[in-house]
């Protein structure tokens, strides 16, 4: 049954990755989250259909256990993918630039086309939207304020503050 579970998760990931590749090839910059969301939903549906298929072939108990275990593994692996791979790529301007250059038509991409997608207003706007969506910041009286005292986005600042506290500058 372990191989069956891994097979179902593999089929779900295959569907997800195919849709990710097709979606990223056909969509413009800064649309990655929508493509990822659609791909994950399709992956979940594919796993559900595989679970139904296993129910028909192996019985309800085996199918239900297979579906449940496959769904848990898929959701956990999607979480790891989003946190460790997708988010850093989506947030990194350098990696996005390289991705845009790599996915450009065979003639390459002109600097003016890159600048159109990477102006400061766009980058700041997108980052603010992500922070608002994660409830890390909020807008109050026309100003942005921190909502959470502790945030993964502030990890670098926390580590720097600890280092500066432990090793103050000598005068």
- Give the pLDDT confidence of 2-60 residue by residue, as tens digits: 677 778 788 888 887 777 777 666 655 445 667 777 788 888 888 888 888 888 888 88
pLDDT at 82: 79
Residue that is last in its domain, among 110, 133, 159:
110
Instruction: Answer with the residue of higher pLDDT: 153 or 70.
Output: 70
Instruction: Answer with the residue of higher pLDDT: 50 or 93.
Output: 50
| pTM for the model | 0.51
Q: What percent of the chain has pLDDT over 90?
A: 2
55 and 89 together in one domain: yes
Contacts of residue 104, Cβ cutoff 8 Å, sequence gap at least 6 = none
pLDDT at 97 over 50: yes
87 and 171 together in one domain: no
Domain extent for 21: 2-110
Mean pLDDT of 112-137: 79
86 and 170 together in one domain: no
105 and 141 together in one domain: no
């Amino acid at each position: 049954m372990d191989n069956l579970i891994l097979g179902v998760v593999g089929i779900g990931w295959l569907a997800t990755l195919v849709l990710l590749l097709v979606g990223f090839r056909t969509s413009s910059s800064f649309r990655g989250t929508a493509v990822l969301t659609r791909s994950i939903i399709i992956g979940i549906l594919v796993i559900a259909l595989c679970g139904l298929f296993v129910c028909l072939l192996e019985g309800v108990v085996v199918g239900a256990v297979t579906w449940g275990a496959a769904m848990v593994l898929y959701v956990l692996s999607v979480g790891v993918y989003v946190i460790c791979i997708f988010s850093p790529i989506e947030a990194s301007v350098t990696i996005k630039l390289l991705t845009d250059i790599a996915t450009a038509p065979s003639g390459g991409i002109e600097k003016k086309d890159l600048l159109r997608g990477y102006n400061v207003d766009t980058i700041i706007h997108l980052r603010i939207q992500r922070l608002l969506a994660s409830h890390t910041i909020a807008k109050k009286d026309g100003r942005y304020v921190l909502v959470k005292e502790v945030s993964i986005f502030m990890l670098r600042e926390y580590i720097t503050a600890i280092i500066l506290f432990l090793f103050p500058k000598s005068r």
